[in-house]
Chain A
Amino acid sequence: MRLHHWLGLLPVLHAALGLAVANRVKPFVLGLPFFMAWIIGGVLLSAIVMACVYRLDPANRAPQGDEQ
Chain B
Amino acid sequence: MNAALAVILLALLFALGAGLWARRGVRMDLAQWSVGGRGFSTVLVFVLMAGELYTTFTFLGASGFAYGYGGAALYVLVYTCLAFVMSYWLLPPIWRLARRHGAMTQPEVFAAAYGSPALGLLVSAVALLALVPYLVVQMKGLGLIVQVTSYGALSPAVAVIVGAVAMTAYVMVSGMHGSAVTAVVKDVLVLAVCAFLGFYLPAHFHGGVGAMFERIEAVRPGFLALPETGRNAAWFASAVAMSAIGMYLWPHAFSAVFTARSPRIFRRNAAVMPLYALVMLFSMFAGYAAVLNVPGLSGGRIDLALLELSIRAFDPWFVGVIGAAGMLTALVPGSIMLISASTLLTRSLYRPLRPNSSDAHLMWVSRLAVPLLMGVTVALTLTGGSSIVALLLIGFAVVAQLAPALLSALLAPSAAHHAGAMAGIVTGVGFVMATAIGGVALRDLMPWAPSWLQDLHPGFVGLILNATVMLASSRLRRRPALILPRPSP
Q: Does B267 contact A (CB under 8 A)?
A: yes
**A5 → B minimal CB distance (Å):** 8
Q: What total of A-B pairs shows CB separation below 8 Å?
A: 113
Check A50 against B88 for contact (C-beta < 8 Å): yes
Distance in angstroms between the alpha carbons of A19 and B225 in the assembled complex: 10
B232 to chain A, nearest CB (A): 9
Q: A33-B213, A36-B224 are in contact. Are A42 and B271 (CB under 8 A)?
A: no
| Stretch of B46-54, B76-84, B117-125, B419-427 contacting A (4+ beta carbons < 8 Å) | B76-84
Given A19-B236, A36-B224, does the pair A60, B267 have CB atoms closer than 8 Å? yes
Give Cα A11 to B244, complex, Å: 13
- Are A23 and B226 neighbours in the complex by a CB distance under 8 Å? yes
**Interface set, chain B 202-258, CB cutoff 8 A to A:** 208-211, 213-214, 217, 221-226, 233, 236-237, 240
CA separation between A25 and B281, bound complex, in Å? 16
Cβ–Cβ < 8 Å partners of B225 in chain A: 23-25, 33-35
Q: Which of B257-282 contact A (CB under 8 A)?
A: 262-264, 267-268, 270-272, 274-275, 277-278, 281
* Residues in chain B near residue A19, CB distance under 8 A: 226, 233, 236-237
How many angstroms between the C-alpha atoms of A68 and B81 in the bound complex? 26
Q: A32-B213, A33-B213, A53-B88 are in contact. Are A16 and B237 (CB under 8 A)?
A: yes
Contact residues in A for B208 (Cβ distance below 8 Å):
31
Query: Chain A contacts of B130 at CB under 8 A?
Result: none
Report chain A residues within 8 Å CB of B271. Answer: 47, 50-51, 53-54
Q: How far is the CA of A18 from the CA of B251 in the complex (A)?
A: 31
Is A28's CB under 8 angstroms from B210's CB? Answer: yes
Interface string of A47-59 (1 = CB under 8 A from B): 1011101100101
Chain B minimum-CB-distance residue to A36: B74
Chain A: minimal CB distance from B218 (Å): 11
Task: Determine whether the beta carbon of A67 is less than 8 Å from that of B272.
Answer: no
Give Cα A68 to B96, complex, Å: 8
**B-side contacts of A67, CB under 8 Å:** 92, 262-264
Known contacts A12-B85, A33-B217, A59-B267: A40-B281 contact under CB 8 Å: yes
Q: What does DSSP make chain B's interface, helix, strand, loop or mixed?
A: helix
Q: Assess whether A57 is in contact with B267, with CB atoms less than 8 Å apart.
A: yes
Query: How many A residues are at the interface, by size bracket?
Result: 35 or more
Let me know if B314 is at the binding interface, CB within 8 A. Answer: no
CA–CA, A16 and B244, complex, Å: 14
Partner of B264, one of A15, A30, A36, A64: A64
User: Is B262's CB under 8 angstroms from A47's CB?
Assistant: no
B264 in contact with A25 (CB, 8 Å): no
Q: Which residues of A contact B267 (CB under 8 A)?
A: 54, 57, 59-60
What are the residues of chain A within 8 A of B364 when measuring CB–CB? none
Interface status of B71 (Cβ within 8 A of chain A): yes
B281 to A, closest residue via Cβ: A40
Check if B210 sits within 8 Å of A50, measured CB to CB: no
Q: Identify which of residues 53-111 in chain B touch chain A, using a CB-to-CB cut-off of 8 Å.
A: 71, 74, 77-78, 81-82, 84-85, 88-89, 92, 96
Q: CB-nearest residue of chain B relative to A33?
A: B224
Q: Which of B96, B210, B264 has the most CB of A within 10 A?
A: B264
**Bound-complex Cα distance A11 to B81 (A):** 8
CB distance from B472 to the nearest CB of A (A): 27
Residues of A within 8 A of B221 (CB): 25
A residues near B84, Cβ cutoff 8 Å: 46, 50
Q: Are B224 and A50 in contact (CB under 8 A)?
A: no
- B interface residue numbers (CB < 8 A to A): 71, 74, 77-78, 81-82, 84-85, 88-89, 92, 96, 208-211, 213-214, 217, 221-226, 233, 236-237, 240, 262-264, 267-268, 270-272, 274-275, 277-278, 281
Where the two chains meet, the residues of A that have a C-beta atom closer than 8 Å to any C-beta of B are 8, 11-12, 15-16, 18-19, 23-26, 28, 30-36, 39-40, 42-44, 46-47, 49-51, 53-54, 57, 59-60, 64-65, 67-68
Supplied contacts A24-B225, A59-B264, 16 more A-B pairs, CB within 8 Å: A19-B236, A25-B221, A25-B223, A25-B225, A34-B225, A35-B224, A39-B77, A43-B81, A43-B274, A46-B84, A46-B85, A49-B85, A50-B271, A53-B88, A54-B271, A57-B267
